[in-house]
Amino acid sequence: MKSPEDSRGSQQRLKLRKLFRRIPKGAASIILILLLCAVFSPWLAPHNPIEQNLGAALKPPFWQGGGTMDHLLGTDNLGRDILSRIIYGARISVIVGFVGVILAGAVGTLLGVIAGYFGGKIDAVIMRLTDIMLSLPFILVGIAIIGAIGPSLTNVVIVLGITQWVGYTRIIRFEAMSLSRSEFIEMAVISGCRWWRILLVHILPNVLNSAVVLATLDVGKMIIIEAAFSFLGLGVKPPTATWGAMLADGRLYMTVAWWIVTFPGLAIFATVLAGNLIGDWLRDELDPRHQLKA
Amino acid sequence: MGAYIVRRLLQSLIVILGVIVITFIISRVIGDPVALLLPPEASPEQRAYLTKDLGLDRPLYIQLVVYVAKVMKGDFGHSFRHQESAMKLVFERLPASLYLSFVAVLLAIGVAIPLGIISAIKRGTIIDRIGMTIALFGQSIPAFWAGIMLIFIFAVQLHWLPPSGYGGFKYVILPATTLAFFVSAATARLTRSNVLDALDMDYVRYARLKGVPEFVVITRHVIRNTFVTIFNIVALQLGLVIGGAVITEFIFSWPGIGRLSLESIYSRDYPVIQATVVVAALIFVVINLLVDIVYIATDPRVKRN
């Protein structure tokens, strides 16, 4: 006979299977390829991404005259292999996308839960803070901060964390607010539950769905912002391969070598598109209100 | 309604004050202006003199108060690079930014709003799917890459339009299109969901029951009732675009405040950075405030409460 534990487990498995049945397959494959590239770049990349070979500079992709199978997507102005640089660049994008989202999401969700639960003056202060953050031209502020503290991967991620939390706070606050008026929270208060326990055990798990959906939709945004910083020379230091820096290099050689600027851009586009599709899917699955609309 | 406007005004003031304080903090993080302004071989006396002259020898909170008071009067001090006031530099570049933003937002409206409305009306059909796929693509293309690709196609290959610079209408088309990508995507999606909401309303069902032709239902009832929300969306996008065009202005050598601030960051010209950030934030806050006022002025339900 099955124990209740078992049937609960299989029910959850059924739920999960139902959830993943409608996952956009193309988008999921793109994300999978991206993760594989990021983790196994030394094994997947045919060349060293930063090794220069001026003898083989500006080689076109293999299908165009002058291209070779050795450099499938051609080489850049310094003879570096484009495909290898894109594969290594995936590392930076994955790190920035995920760590940035986790940082911003954690800060934003925490502030949102606090604002929504306590209300009153605390809420007013946090809300004005989000207004201030929203009205700041954040690309400019981000660039100014990175320009000041120096460009590096860590600094880019920190800047993303401290500038991108606002979206989470606004939505989570709203949910925490209506939750804190519900009966089970009242019961928790009556039974003498401490405020931090109410926040962590009772409210946080109930707003996590929304936070995860927002975070998924945000990964692409983080990757685009990092690419923008690198593009302006304020991201990860060269010669590290990043998609944004490749675009900056390629822009100067656009007239003679279209491939340098095209492929990293396509990589960003595909990644962000996949992230958005996965985010949309998660939102439809996890947020019943949205299902009605779609 | 009056009380609400007063409260919103106060909130906006607080936000602007907060922005000013943040620019002060950033300037302190960026570095010592004395070291930036003087050559490395300057004598300690010269350093001491300039420190005193700039008021940097006073306690930090007094510096902050002096700074806020000056900024409130529009005085950000002189640019380190140009012998001109930072505010004047920003105002010289502002028209170019406004011009670019307006054209971009107009373009976005022209494409996105019809797209959103049609997708909503034809919900679930192939037209809806195509429309929303276009919007999703627009949202996923990094603006600066789109800009580079547009230059490559329309300037380098086809020679139809100039690759960069500032001049007649021909020059604004590519940068405005670049900026419009993202704006249109967001606008189209929001328009669609708002029109969908309106289509579900009882008054729409009632109008249909009465036998009002579908075209009239859409134009007279649905669009008219979503107009205010759509106007809100567009106005807010405009506020974002004016301060957010840094990279587009950089790629197209567009002489707006975005490029000015970028140049200032590279040369650590922080009075100009501060002035740009505050002006961009001010524009955003004012647009937000106006949107809210228009919203309550045009919605009879708000007035009644």
Q: Do A135 and B284 touch (CB under 8 A)?
A: yes
Residue A114's pLDDT is 93
B53: distance to nearest CA of chain A, Å? 24
Q: Do A269 and B22 touch (CB under 8 A)?
A: no
Residue keyed to tokens 């076109």 = A60
Q: Give φ, ψ of B289 to 5 degrees.
A: -65, -45
The mean pLDDT value for A39-67 works out to 83
Residue B103's pLDDT is 92
Q: Give φ, ψ of B231 to 5 degrees.
A: -60, -45
The mean pLDDT value for A248-269 works out to 89
Summarised one tens digit per residue, pLDDT across range B208-219 is: 888 888 888 888
Find the length of chain A.
Answer: 294
Does residue A1 have a pLDDT over 60?
A: no
Summarised one tens digit per residue, pLDDT across range B258-284 is: 889 888 888 878 788 889 889 988 988
What DSSP designation does B58 have? S
Q: A254 to chain B: which residues are within 8 Å by CB?
A: 148, 151-152, 156
Q: What ipTM was reported for this prediction?
A: 0.84
Interface size, chain A vs chain B, as Cβ–Cβ contacts under 8 Å: 123
Cβ proximity of B169 and B242 under 8 Å: no
Summarised one tens digit per residue, pLDDT across range A163-203 is: 899 989 988 998 898 888 888 888 888 888 888 888 888 88
Average pLDDT of chain B to the nearest whole number: 83
Residue A98's pLDDT is 92
Average pLDDT of chain A to the nearest whole number: 85
Residue keyed to tokens 């960069």 = B164
Residue keyed to tokens 């490395």 = B40
Q: Residue B90 burial (CB < 10 Å; 0-12/13-18/19+)?
A: buried
Q: Do B268 and A147 touch (CB under 8 A)?
A: yes
Summarised one tens digit per residue, pLDDT across range A106-129 is: 999 999 999 999 988 999 999 999
CB-nearest to A293 from B15, B18, B196 is B196
- Integer Cα distance of B142 and A144 in angstroms: 21
The mean pLDDT value for B132-140 works out to 86
Output the six-digit token pair for B304: 């009644």
- Integer Cα distance of B184 and B115 in angstroms: 9
Does residue A77 have a pLDDT over 90?
A: no
Residue B171's pLDDT is 86
- Integer Cα distance of A271 and A93 in angstroms: 9
Least confident of A140-144, B45-49, B195-199, B241-245: B241-245
Q: Which residues are registered as beta bridge partners of A75?
A: A81
Query: Within an 8 Å CB–CB cutoff, is residue A114 touching chain B?
Result: no
Residue B31's pLDDT is 65
Q: Residue A113 burial (CB < 10 Å; 0-12/13-18/19+)?
A: buried
Nearest Cα to Cα of residue A103 among A238, A226, A202, A230: A226
Cβ proximity of A202 and A188 under 8 Å: yes
User: Residue A62 half-sphere exposure, CB side, CA atoms within 13 Å?
Assistant: 8
Output the six-digit token pair for A197: 């326990």
CB-nearest to A137 from B136, B197, B277 is B277
Q: Do A147 and B149 touch (CB under 8 A)?
A: no
Query: Within an 8 Å CB–CB cutoff, is residue B247 touching chain A?
Result: yes
Q: Which helix (H) or strand (E) holds B44?
A: helix B44-53
Output the six-digit token pair for B8: 């919103």
Confidence tier at A87 by pLDDT (50, 70, 90):
very high
Closest chain B residue by Cα to residue A138: B244
Residue A294's pLDDT is 40
pTM of the model: 0.86
| Contacting residues for B231 by C-beta, under 8 A, at least 6 apart | B291, B294
Cβ proximity of A220 and A276 under 8 Å: yes
Q: Where are the domains positioned within chain B? A: 2-72, 90-298
Residue B132's pLDDT is 86
CATH 3.60.15.10 fits B90-298, yes or no: no
Verify cis geometry, omega within 30 degrees of 0, for the bond prior to B44: no
Does residue B173 have a pLDDT over 80?
A: yes
Does residue A145 have a pLDDT over 70?
A: yes
Output the six-digit token pair for A142: 């981000």
Least confident of A107-111, B43-47, B99-103: B43-47
Angle between helices A153-163 and A82-118 (to 10 degrees): 30
Cβ proximity of A271 and A223 under 8 Å: yes
Closest chain B residue by Cα to residue A263: B145
- Integer Cα distance of A73 and A60 in angstroms: 7
Q: Give φ, ψ of B78 to 5 degrees.
A: -90, 145
- Integer Cα distance of A215 and A206 in angstroms: 16
Least confident of A104-108, A193-197, A288-292, B186-190: A288-292
Task: Report the C-alpha dihedral over residues B222, B227, B233, B239, rounded to 10 degrees.
Answer: 170
Q: A231 to chain B: which residues are within 8 Å by CB?
A: 144, 247
Residue A106's pLDDT is 94
Q: Residue A284 burial (CB < 10 Å; 0-12/13-18/19+)?
A: middle
Instruction: Provide the 10 A C-beta neighbour count for residue A130.
Output: 21
Q: B140 to chain A: which residues are within 8 Å by CB?
A: 220, 269, 272-273, 276
Output the six-digit token pair for A26: 């193309």
Cβ proximity of B69 and B81 under 8 Å: no
Q: Do B22 and A141 touch (CB under 8 A)?
A: yes
The mean pLDDT value for B151-162 works out to 85
- Integer Cα distance of A118 and A124 in angstroms: 10
Least confident of A11-25, A209-223, B139-153: A11-25
The mean pLDDT value for A77-97 works out to 90
Q: Tell me which of A157 and B48 has the higher pLDDT.
A: A157
Residue A140's pLDDT is 84
Confidence tier at A289 by pLDDT (50, 70, 90):
low
Confidence tier at A292 by pLDDT (50, 70, 90):
very low
B73: distance to nearest CA of chain A, Å? 20
The proportion of chain B whose per-residue pLDDT surpasses 90, expressed as a percent, equals 7
Query: Within an 8 Å CB–CB cutoff, is residue A18 touching chain B?
Result: no
Q: Tell me which of A274 and B302 has the higher pLDDT.
A: A274
Q: Residue B124 burial (CB < 10 Å; 0-12/13-18/19+)?
A: exposed
CB contacts under 8 A, B 39-98 vs A, are: none
Does residue A84 have a pLDDT over 60?
A: yes
What are the CB-based long-range contacts (under 8 Å, 24+) for B166-173? Answer: B166/B96, B166/B253, B166/B254, B166/B255, B172/B99, B172/B100, B172/B103
